[in-house]
Amino acid sequence: MTDQAHAHSDPDASPLGKVVATYRDTYAPELLYPISRTPKREEIGLTTDNTRGHLPFMGADLWTAYELSWLTLRGKPEVALATFTVPCESPNIIESKSLKLYLNSFNMTRFASIDAVREVLVRDLSAATGVRVGVKLVLPEAFDAQPIHELSGLCLDRMDIDCDVFQPAPELLTAALDELPVTETLTSNLLKSNCLVTGQPDWGSVQITYSGPQIDQAGLLRYLVSFRGHNEFHEQCVERIYMDILTRCQPVKLQVYARYTRRGGLDINPWRTSHPAAAPVNVRTARQ
């Protein structure tokens, strides 16, 4: 994108954790706060060249916005659900509180049509992230058709295990490297991390699909639980999980998909895959 917004490297300078004296209710794209993906990717050994050709994964961040409203040209309010698909090769993420504040700025802004709203969202979010962002709007007549579904797969939470490590510990991950490979999907509802800036808890469910040496399930569950005291954004946690499993367990194929509970009317659901695949259908879980 040639009109990419200036990316910030300091999340502490974002609106997170700060009192907002006056909420803007008329269109204000300058409220969006892009944060570069590079520093956190460098922490886990990824190249600073954030393009698909140089990353060990593909995928996207799937956002759902539950609080979107605007005015028609006659001043009548409209509401919609919105989903945003941000490709993982984007140079930037958007800090979530800034996105909430930006969406609030639509509240008293008049638009000629829902298509006009969508076009503005695509333009602004694409400029902030540095790649084209997919935007879908769902109007109230389709609300009743929105499903709720849990992540499919074998749930690791069935195991009664001891947990005493609460910072990411990749050494907990092991796989049967000398045995025949398997293909399986494993899930957990016990993923919890904390916001990088405020330290507030972020609750999530995670689905791991892989082909390769069989991963020790008890070790994998302990590893996922080890994020419980870790401060990092959702997207960064999922990429850390992906890279740790890739490095320690050596799967031939790997997908990691997490669905985090909403905050401020937004949920963020990062998905990373080692191979071309259709993105997961953006269906919320019961906790979202």
List residues forming the annotated binding site for substrate. Answer: 94-96, 234-235
pLDDT of 24-44, one tens digit each? Answer: 999 999 999 999 999 999 999
* pLDDT at 264 exceeding the cut of 80: yes
Please check the confidence at residue 12 and state whether its pLDDT lies above 70.
no
Residue ranges for the known binding site are 94-97, 234-235, 263-264
Is 237 one of the annotated active-site residues of the chain?
no
Catalytic residue flag (residue 202): yes
Q: Mean per-residue pLDDT for 232-258?
A: 98
Summarize pLDDT for 214-225 with one digit per residue, the tens. 999 999 999 999
pLDDT band at 47 (very low <50, low <70, confident <90, very high): confident
Task: Name the binding residues for NADPH.
Answer: 96-97, 263-264
Q: What CATH number belongs to 11-145?
A: 3.30.1130.10
Query: Rounded CA gap, 259 and 78, in Å?
Result: 27
Contact assessment for residue 142 and residue 136, using Cβ atoms and an 8 Å cutoff: no
Q: Which CATH class is domain 154-273?
A: alpha beta
- Per-residue pLDDT, 14: 55
In 11-146, beta strands by DSSP E: 34-36, 58-71, 77-87, 92-94, 134-138
Query: Is pLDDT larger for residue 34 or for residue 11?
Result: 34
**CB contact at 8 A, 273 and 239:** no
Q: Is 67 exposed, middle or buried (0-12, 13-18, 19+ CB in 10 A)?
A: middle
Catalytic residue of the set 202, 237, 244, 267: 202
Closest by Cα among 283, 258, 263, 228 to 61:
258
Cα Rg for the chain, rounded, in angstroms?
19
Question: Is residue 22 very low, low, confident or very high in pLDDT (cuts 50, 70, 90)?
Answer: confident
Do the first three CATH levels of 11-145 and 154-273 match, i.e. the same topology?
A: yes
- Does this model's pTM top 0.85? My answer is yes
* Domain ranges within the chain, ordered by starting residue: 11-145, 154-273
Q: What's the whole-number mean pLDDT along residues 255-271?
A: 97
Alpha-carbon dihedral 283, 188, 229, 31, rounded to 10 degrees:
-10
Quick one: 258 exposed, middle or buried, by C-beta within 10 A (0-12, 13-18, 19+)?
A: buried
